């Protein structure tokens, strides 16, 4: 992250408070307006419009629109192999595990060492985590890689989500369990069908969003008469290329 990139993000509709030097994957794709505040983003992220996250770790995640994430949320952290001799990454990482100098015993051996992993054997499996639209995740929640959290769901603070969460479910605990549903069961289907998150707030101006049951007909009418809000995606790679063309200096290591 650089001051130029941070300012460019703000100009194109992305709030960002990441400090200078912070990493953000170049394949990160964003819909404006949104906010990535102090998020640590690795291996890519897709975030829909009107969503925000305060802080935490996000790895290989797709996030829908109108999502609200609290502080220190952890999503997509990879597993370690549990059936190998050791669970330590030192036996499969193809780069040094620690960034060290050479003034310690056997430092040369440490820096020369590169583990051999048998062909076709993967210590971990890369999984995409999918967060639907209008999902609320509280402070300190942990979501395992590969999990899908349905539209309208709520994840309580410090919950540990290890399996898929149905639409509009409220989950809490370790492991997270369904405590209730946000809306009456008969409303879930119609709300999913209405897919109101396709529209911007100003397109729904005048609707009483505090009473979802009473505006179903208006949401259906909106879907039939109004074009959805469809901003062009913003990618960090494209912004870096634009800044480079203007005299900026993008990173070459896959992050910005």
Which amino acids are annotated catalytic? 80
How many angstroms separate the CA atoms of 57 and 40, rounded?
A: 5
d(CA 247, CA 250): 10
Distances (CA, A) of 224 to 199, 204, 213, 230: 12, 13, 18, 16
Do the beta carbons of residue 136 and residue 155 sit within 8 Å? yes
The backbone torsions φ and ψ at residue 75, rounded to the nearest 5 degrees and listed phi first, read -130, 125
User: Alpha-carbon distance 116 to 91, whole Å?
Assistant: 8
Smallest CA-to-CA distance from 61 within 143, 163, 152, 135 is with: 143
Q: Which parts of the chain are beta strand (E)?
A: 14-16, 29-30, 34-47, 52-53, 55-63, 68-69, 73-75, 129-131, 136-137, 142-143, 148-149, 154-155, 160-161, 169-172, 177-181, 234-235
Bond preceding residue 175 cis, omega within 30 of 0: yes
Alpha carbons 28 and 12: distance in angstroms, whole number:
14
């Amino acid at each position: 992250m650089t001051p130029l990139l941070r300012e460019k993000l703000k100009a194109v509709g992305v709030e960002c408070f990441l400090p200078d030097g912070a990493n953000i994957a170049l394949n990160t794709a964003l819909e404006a307006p949104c906010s990535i505040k102090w998020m640590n983003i690795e291996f890519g992220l897709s975030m829909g419009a009107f969503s925000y996250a305060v802080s935490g770790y996000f790895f290989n995640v797709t996030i829908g629109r109108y999502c609200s994430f609290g502080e220190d949320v952890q999503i997509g952290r990879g597993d370690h192999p549990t059936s190998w001799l050791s669970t330590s990454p030192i036996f499969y990482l193809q780069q040094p595990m620690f960034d060290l100098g050479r003034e310690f015993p056997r430092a040369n051996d440490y820096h020369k060492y590169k583990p051999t992993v048998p062909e076709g054997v993967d210590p971990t499996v890369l999984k995409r985590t999918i967060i639907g639209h209008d999902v609320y995740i509280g402070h300190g929640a942990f979501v395992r890689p590969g999990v899908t959290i349905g539209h309208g769901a709520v994840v309580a603070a410090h919950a540990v989500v290890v399996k898929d969460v149905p639409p509009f479910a409220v989950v809490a605990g370790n492991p997270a369990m369904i405590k209730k549903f946000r809306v009456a069961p008969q409303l879930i289907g119609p709300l999913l069908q209405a897919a109101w998150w396709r529209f911007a707030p100003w397109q729904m101006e005048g609707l009483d969003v505090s009473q979802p049951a009473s505006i179903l007909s208006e949401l259906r009418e909106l879907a039939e008469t109004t074009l959805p809000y469809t901003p062009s995606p913003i990618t960090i790679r494209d912004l870096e290329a634009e800044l480079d063309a203007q005299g900026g200096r993008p990173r070459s290591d896959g992050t910005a």
